[in-house]
Chain A
Amino acid sequence: MDSYQEIIFKLKKYWSDRGCIIQEPYDLEVGAGTMTPETFLRVLGPKPYRVAYVQPSRRPADGRYGENPNRLYKHMQLQVILKPSPADVIDQYLGSLTAIGIDLKKHDIKFEEDNWESPTLGAWGVGWQVMLDGLEITQFTYFQQCGGIDLDLVPAELTYGLERLTAFLQLKDSVYDIEWAPGVSYREVRFADELQFSVYNFEMADVGMLWKLFELHEGEAGRLLKLFDPKSEDKARFPLLPTYEHVLKCSHLFNTLDARGAISVTERVAVIGRVRKLAVGVAQAWMAQQGAAELVEAGQ
């Protein structure tokens, strides 16, 4: 029986063998692997790209103080981007399951319609949730739009829920009981994290301070976007990636405020709109920067 980390090694190796760069997790709080620049920005434009990485994904509202066997404040996704998606993408995906020891002939795999949409990112795609013996183990999406922009090359995005997958393989009813490394449980590694962040997000986070931070990051991202000049000869130097980090900060702060119960449903839509405006702005600027950025890269 493979440990959690062994399963991650095998998946990374599998996708590495299929031409993916193996990236390391993005070092900022994100709600999903999709939000990191490796997906959000790289799927834009006509340049092919293949990448796989584990992304710790924080969803403050999903925290359960470490008490619920299936719900986590922070869970790990294995995010795979194949741009453009190869014709045999589903076979490749099924191959990855075989690689971690799932005998497909003995299990039930179904692809059930599940379209993905992120209002905060102005992004959507169509696809499936992949069900293994009744358990959703992967979200499979063909991206169509990102930052409000139609994509030149349609990427396939595979998002594996690593804890669920491991619990399935290790026959565990609770993610806390899965074996992270030989002799070490997920509980030992992550329980304190789940408990303390639940307490903070639900009970102690200072709402006023969170709003202030939100506005600071929003202000900075907005300020930078206004300064970006698509006609500038120097545009390759422009710090769009740092701008995007401020957008990501906004998104996470929004999620925390939401978990804290500080955002009414009416406000929700408006705040999502504010974050989307920034995300879409970055995506458009990024497109404008691409040609110039490639020239600079090639020159170095």
Chain B
Amino acid sequence: MSLPFLLEIGTEEIPDWMIEGALDFLRNLFLEAVGGEIKVDVDATPRRLVLRATGLMERQPDMVQKVSGPAVTAPEAAVAGFARKQGVKPAELEKQDGKYVVMKRVAGRTTKEILAETLPGIIGKIYFPKTMYWTAKNGLRFIRPIRWIVALLGDEVVPVEIAGVRSGSATAGHRVLGAPKIVVKIADYEQKLRENFVILPAVGRTQRIVSVVGQVQDEGLLKTLVYLTEYPSVISGSFDAEYLKLPAEVLVTVMKHHQKYFAVYENGKLTNRFLAVTNTDGDPDGLIRRGNERVLRARFNDAQFFWETDQKKKLADRVADLEHVTFQAKLGSYLEKTKRIEALTAELGGDAAAVRAAHLSKADLTTEMVKEFTELQGVVGGLYAREQGEPEEVWTAIYDHYKPVSMEDSIPRTRAGQLVSIADKLDTLRGCFGIGLIPTGSKDPFALRRAAQGIVKILVEGKLRLPVRKLLSGDANLEEFFLDRIRYYFKDIRGFKYDEINAILASGWDDLVDVEERLLAIQAVRPTENFEPLAASFKRIQNILKQAQFAGNGGTIDATLLEPGPEQDLYQEFQNVRGRLANLPYQPALETIASLRPQVDLFFDKVLVNAQDPKVRANRLTLLYTLLAEFSTIADFSEIVTHT
């Protein structure tokens, strides 16, 4: 008979952003521990992690266990002793491989027993990025205190005790609207929760929000709200339209990041309305709306105050104040950084507007607005620059220069913005690597990975052909770090195959636009019939050269030493291909190289590289070496992982 199972870990409010990860762990840990043909579903609200499974066996199948005893030659007393110990008569003993054995039947354990034993371990192993203890110093660590546990197998409670909490069949409803203690069965669990103002499935809560808010652009905010509530309701509020004179960026940041509201747009324009998601059953008296409106008003008042105060001093006049803002103890102030960014921007080819933007780029760090809304750094500088009459080319570059803040984010919209952004990030990278602040493992306090990835993204997507290795000023650590970021970008963000990336990067990565072009070419040629076999041959050539410890030795191919037949054919075809390659775009060039395959195959089939005559041998190695060197400028084919 198969049984359903329900586990509910009742906790105090779990941080919203950790919940889905915890559910994955719970599901996997459970499957690992229980296994078999079961179906597992997980779900959660801020106060409960829930796992429901069906198809659990009531008990494990019985097993026959073999117990080995003394050898068949052993004295009778020893045999009798063994039989007695196993609870059988000596006559019942079997003989196997020269020994007496007993075949014992062991009853399969009940699933209830197994669960009682394994659940504490499963719960304890759920990973959270930050944990706490609450019972005792060496007590269980979990994300927040566990307050109740429901563990039901069929109709029975699976007895467990975790951090002093014993399992039972009672759950809890919504903190304010529901009953604190509700006895449930597996069949009525979700319904009982619903009656007590807890919508268990995240999709159900999402639905309740989306049905009012409509199409949501901000999936992140939506998810946050889904996992901050057990019974979400949407209320609509408004603010004085006078505040719309403040930049939309500021208003939206306050609403979204600080208050977790949805901003409301009409025809693409911000309106003076907002939508807030509550953990209640509506707001019949309008009290919640009024409270939220008051909070928002206070926040907007602050923002307005900051805006007006900040205008009293122009950005240009703030640059000198950056002397008092430390970038990093050993790397000096933001004023020094500003000077470096300016110089770098010019060095990268930035025009006067770009250099002006670089000059003003960090000045907003001294404004009240950025001190309050740090996430708006750059944006605020851009807005102030516009307000203070800087040309569009300048203010947009300031506005964008932190971009891309993630791999999903877009790059700065103008060339000036792209150059200032690269200069800023490059300066941080060079500086930090210069003083040994190199990221290790998860530790990356200056977000250097993001900075390097940002540069890669801008160079590639902005089609900027800047000499990367020169930019990195020959720092070997930084080059290695950067190569990792380039790999990450092309593999994880762009989806190229790792061996294609290795093949391309091995032939140079100084120009990332060129790297992308070569990658696209190799990706296109990869599926053609000649490509992989030729790659395999190139690897073979490389191995032969390596074994012979042959590195070209400055020799040239002596055509007179070439044997007629496959060797001469290869040489001729090589020259022929080489001639056709000139000025070909990458993809046809690769196709042309791949067309060498029949001659290469035939050469290896018929010609012995290790010829008796050392001159002939050296000439053959030179032929192979030249072929490899000349055809590896686009990609190093030997890096391609082949299946032939």
Question: Residues of A at under 8 Å CB distance from B?
Answer: 68-70, 85, 87, 90-91, 94, 104-113, 115, 125-126, 128, 132-135, 142, 144, 150-152, 154, 168, 171, 173, 261, 264-266, 269
Contacts and interface: CB of A to CB of B under 8 A. Distances in A.
Q: Give the 10 A-B CB pairs with smallest separation, nearest first.
A: A133-B291, A265-B326, A113-B15, A108-B278, A111-B13, A134-B292, A134-B295, A104-B176, A266-B326, A135-B295
A133 B295 contact: yes
A108 B348 CA distance: 54
Contacts of B325: 265
B288 A107 contact: yes
A144 B132 contact: yes
A152 B138 CA distance: 9
B298 A69 contact: yes
Contacts of B288: 106-108, 133
Interface residues of B, number: 48
Contacts, number: 100
Contacts of B175: 90, 94, 109
Given A70-B302, A105-B177, A106-B285, A115 B295 contact: no
B296 interface: yes
B137 A150 contact: yes
Interface in B164-195: 175-177, 180
Contact of A110 (B147, B229, B296, B297): B229
Contacts of A87: 145, 147
Interface in B12-38: 12-13, 15-17
Contact of A128 (B13, B145, B283, B302): B13
A109 B292 CA distance: 12
Given A106-B288, A133-B292, A168-B294, 11 more contacts: A70-B298, A70-B302, A104-B176, A108-B278, A134-B292, A135-B291, A142-B132, A142-B145, A150-B137, A264-B326, A266-B329
Interface string B326-349: 100100000000000000000000
Contacts of B261: 134
Contacts of B15: 113
B326 A134 contact: no
A150 B229 CA distance: 32
Nearest to A154: B134
Contact of A109 (B17, B130, B144, B176): B176
B263 interface: no
Nearest to B289: A133
18 contacts: A87-B147, A90-B175, A107-B280, A109-B279, A110-B279, A111-B12, A112-B228, A126-B144, A133-B291, A134-B261, A134-B295, A135-B295, A154-B132, A261-B324, A264-B326, A265-B326, A266-B326, A266-B329
Contact of A264 (B132, B285, B301, B324): B324
Contacts of A112: 13, 228
Contacts of B176: 94, 104-105, 109
A267 B512 CA distance: 41
Contact of A113 (B16, B136, B290): B16
B44 interface: no
Contacts of A109: 175-176, 279
A94 B180 CA distance: 13
B46 interface: yes
B256 to A, nearest CB: 13
A84 B228 CA distance: 27
B303 to A, nearest CB: 12
Given A168-B291, A266-B329, A69 B130 contact: no
A134 B130 contact: no
A216 to B, nearest CB: 26
B32 to A, nearest CB: 28
A233 B295 CA distance: 57
A134 B137 contact: no
Given A109-B175, A142-B132, A68 B13 contact: no
B504 interface: no
Contacts of A110: 228-229, 279
A111 B229 CA distance: 9
Contacts of B279: 108-110
A106 B288 CA distance: 7
B276 interface: yes
Contacts of A126: 130, 132, 144
B259 interface: yes
A148 B15 CA distance: 25
Contacts of A264: 324, 326
Contact of A107 (B133, B135, B144, B291): B291
A115 B130 contact: yes
B265 interface: no
B287 interface: yes
A142 B134 contact: yes
Contacts of B324: 261, 264-265
Contact of B133 (A113, A133, A144, A261): A144
Contacts of B135: 154
B550 interface: no
A249 to B, nearest CB: 26
A110 B288 CA distance: 12
A271 B5 CA distance: 57
B305 interface: yes
A273 B12 CA distance: 34
B329 A269 contact: yes
B11 to A, nearest CB: 11
Interface string B143-177: 01101000000000000000000000000000111
Interface string B302-332: 1001000000000000000000111001000
A90 B12 CA distance: 8
A93 to B, nearest CB: 11
B285 A173 contact: no
Contact of A173 (B137, B177, B297): B297
Interface string B503-521: 0000000000000000000
Contacts of B46: 111
Contacts of A265: 324-326
B327 to A, nearest CB: 9
A69 B305 CA distance: 11
Contacts of A91: 180
Contacts of B17: 113
B132 A132 contact: no
B133 A134 contact: no
B137 A69 contact: no
B280 A108 contact: yes
B298 A173 contact: yes
Contacts of B145: 85, 87, 142
A141 B477 CA distance: 42
A68 B304 CA distance: 11
Query: Which of A70, A91, A133, A264 has the most C-beta atoms of chain B within 10 angstroms of its own C-beta?
Result: A133
A261 B280 CA distance: 45
Interface in B220-245: 228-229
A171 to B, nearest CB: 8
A171 B296 CA distance: 14
Contacts of A113: 13, 15-17
A104 B177 CA distance: 9
Nearest to A126: B132
Nearest to B133: A154
Nearest to A67: B305
A135 B295 CA distance: 6
A133 B325 CA distance: 37
Query: Which of A68, A85, A105, A266 has the most C-beta atoms of chain B within 10 angstroms of its own C-beta?
Result: A266
